[in-house]
Amino acid sequence: MKTLKTHRSLALLVLIVGLVAGVLFSQEVRLTKAAAIGAPDATPLTIPDPVQLSNSFSKLAKELEPSVVLVTSTIEQKVVQRHGGQRGGQQGGQDPEDLFRRFFGGDPFGGDNQGQGPQRPFKSQGTGSGFVVDGHGYILTNNHVVENASKIQVKLHDDSTEYTAKVVGTDPELDLAVIKIDAGHKLEPVKVGNSDAIQVGDWAVAIGSPFGLETSVTAGIISAKGRDLGGRGHQLQKFLQTDAAINPGNSGGPLLNIRGEVVGVNTMIATNTGGSDGVGFALPMNLAVGAYNQIIKTGKVSRGAIGILFQPQQKPELLKAYGATSGVFVDQVTPGQPAAKAGLKEGDIVTSFNGKPVTNGNELVARVSETPVGSKVPVTVLRGDKTLNLTIEVADRADIIAGNNGGPAANPDSAEGDEQGQNVKFGLSVRALRGDDRDSMGFQDSGGVLVTDVESDSFGEDIGMQHGDVLMAINRQPVTTPADVKRIAGTLKPGQPVAFKVMRSAGQSQGGGAQWQALFLAGTLPASQ
């Protein structure tokens, strides 16, 4: 009996186990089919709790927002009333750069005032940027943002009040202005950085109000340093170039390094579209600080000058032809100014100023301009084979520049007559100067031959010789006739540096007489001439 019962129990257990296994197998099959529809190896996503991310750019933006301001300038002009009440151009809401173009190029609407009816007042507003540099309300911006403005208003971040600003002083040569507002409370100034420490490739962050959009932040890198924009800027401006987006309205805003220090003042853009093409320029902060410190002390900027002219990019051939390897070659010495009074002459090479060597024109301009007006400084020059030590009293740059403004250029064609001149080497044709030539040209210097033609693609054209120049000397040898030019040219060999002294018409003096400017052109002779 026990055995039978045992067998029955085992059979029942087997049956139960089989049923359970069948159920489990059936469920497994169903699960497998279901899993085949989804992604069995995927992990569900989860949303983390909100936390403050570490980001240098957002940190800079938050720190600088209270210090960056929107500057609105109102400019009053008298414009022509057109027949039929129509006028061209646009009204209001223009960026300062556009205002600068419109209001300093004659009629802002592209016409003249002949037969167009009476003038009537017209107001236009331009927007720019600025940044607080002193908690008492002192703000640095571009001069072109506030220039000629009848009213200047400043708006702070998260403050709807428009504060009226006054101009403390300006520096047109650097395109800087210092303005001040009374906000009734202390403002948050920026941190000033050392722009000399900036390297190409460093991060750069621009903050400003492009198109009136307040506290806009863009980032990029420093693309270049010491960028000289030539005719578009002034002699003292050497810009930081950046690809951080700078647009109209950014003018006057800060350019920051990654530490949040201001290293530049955003000033202009190079563009084919009117917007950012990734080429923006900022005035280095070290230059801006020097101007600012003078403005808050005296209300203006005073810079030194000595009264000489030289070429911004000097060719080494010119220095070699005059016996030097470095220095600044003097093209012209302004009569009556400090350099002339000290005995400096055209053709001299300045090798040292105030005890420090000078290797190029930028160095000389920087050292002279930062020297206090009235200072007497030692200057070393190379003249021929001699080294001379002179003492020059530095004058005010503004006074010297004002005295150099001339009138329209004289026309050298009046002296040419029907004579085309003799063809000489260098791709030049020259002829002798007669007494009546000198009278008609207002050229009273002795010697020289008139350049009547410069051949296209010639050596003369390559070095910058022009029709109407008076050729005075070649490699320091005086020229008085075309034969002199041929004789000297015959002594020169291919590959040899050669320097030409020429006189070029520079307009009229304030007294109405003709002005002629000395220039020194140089190059290396090609294989054939």
Measure the CA–CA gap between 499 and 317, rounded to whole angstroms. 7
CATH number (domain holding residue 166):
2.40.10.10
Q: Is residue 27 part of a domain?
A: no
pLDDT of residue 310: 85
Pick from 522, 390, 414, 527: which is nearest to 468 by CA? Answer: 414
Same domain, 389 and 289: no
Same domain, 265 and 324: no
Structure tokens at 400: 């010297």
* Average pLDDT rounded to a whole number, residues 95-115: 36
* Average pLDDT rounded to a whole number, residues 141-148: 92
pLDDT of residue 395: 92
Last residue of a domain, one of 155, 180, 205: 180
> For residue range 165-201, what is the model confidence (pLDDT) as tens digits?
999 999 988 999 999 999 999 999 999 999 999 999 9
- DSSP-based helix, strand, coil % in the chain, nearest 5: 25, 35, 40
Q: How confident is the model at residue 27 (pLDDT cuts 50, 70, 90)?
A: very low
Same domain, 418 and 398: no
Q: Classify each residue of 156-172 as buried b or exposed e, where b means 16 or more C-beta atoms within 10 Å of its C-beta.
A: beeeeeebebebbbbbe
Residue 113 backbone dihedrals phi, psi, to 5 degrees:
-105, 20
Measure the CA–CA gap between 448 and 432, rounded to whole angstroms. 7
Q: How confident is the model at residue 33 (pLDDT cuts 50, 70, 90)?
A: very low
Highest mean pLDDT among 215-229, 251-265, 496-510: 251-265
341 class by beta-carbon count within 10 Å (0-12 exposed, 13-18 middle, 19+ buried): middle
Q: Is residue 185 part of a domain?
A: no
Residue for token digits 């987006």?
245
Do residues 407 and 508 make contact, with C-beta atoms less than 8 angstroms apart? yes
Do residues 451 and 483 make contact, with C-beta atoms less than 8 angstroms apart? no
Q: Is residue 151 part of a domain?
A: yes
CATH number (domain holding residue 454):
2.30.42.10
Structure tokens at 504: 């070029």
Highest mean pLDDT among 56-70, 72-86, 365-379, 406-420: 365-379
pLDDT at 338 over 90: yes
Q: Is residue 120 part of a domain?
A: yes
- Find the domain containing 126 and state its range: 67-180
Same domain, 130 and 235: no
pLDDT of residue 17: 46
Same domain, 167 and 197: no
10 in the Ramachandran plot: left (φ > 0), alpha (ψ -120 to 50) or beta?
alpha
Measure the CA–CA gap between 342 and 182, rounded to whole angstroms. 49
Number of domain units in the chain? 4
Task: Give the residue numbers annotated as catalytic, written as ranges.
Answer: 144, 175, 251
DSSP code for 289: H
Last residue of a domain, one of 277, 298, 319: 298
Q: What's the pTM value of the predicted model, to 2 decimals?
A: 0.63
Q: How confident is the model at residue 10 (pLDDT cuts 50, 70, 90)?
A: low
Same domain, 290 and 309: no
Measure the CA–CA gap between 523 and 494, rounded to whole angstroms. 11
Pick from 478, 421, 468: which is nearest to 442 by CA? Answer: 468
Q: How confident is the model at residue 72 (pLDDT cuts 50, 70, 90)?
A: very high
**Which region among 28-37, 222-231, 333-342, 373-382 has the lowest average model confidence (pLDDT)?**
28-37
CA distances from 31 to 21, 34, 196, 336, 403 (A): 15, 5, 70, 103, 97
Same domain, 381 and 417: no
Same domain, 153 and 204: no
Q: Is residue 417 part of a domain?
A: yes
Same domain, 294 and 375: no
Same domain, 77 and 114: yes
* Average pLDDT rounded to a whole number, residues 480-506: 89
**Which region among 3-7, 264-268, 466-470, 480-484 has the lowest average model confidence (pLDDT)?**
3-7
* Average pLDDT rounded to a whole number, residues 454-462: 89
pLDDT at 103 over 80: no
pLDDT at 452 over 60: yes
pLDDT of residue 111: 40
Same domain, 288 and 321: no
Residue for token digits 């722009």?
195
pLDDT of residue 146: 93
On average, the pLDDT of the chain sits at: 78
Residue for token digits 């089989």?
18
Same domain, 443 and 483: yes
Do residues 319 and 348 make contact, with C-beta atoms less than 8 angstroms apart? no
pLDDT of residue 26: 46
Q: Pairing state of beta strands 261-269 and 191-192? A: parallel
Q: Is residue 30 part of a domain?
A: no
Q: How confident is the model at residue 34 (pLDDT cuts 50, 70, 90)?
A: very low
| Residue spans of beta strands (DSSP E) within 11-118 | 68-80
Q: Is residue 24 part of a domain?
A: no
Pick from 282, 203, 223: which is nearest to 250 by CA? Answer: 282
Last residue of a domain, one of 161, 180, 199: 180
CB atoms near residue 31 (< 10 Å): 11
Measure the CA–CA gap between 172 and 169, rounded to whole angstroms. 10
Q: Is residue 4 part of a domain?
A: no
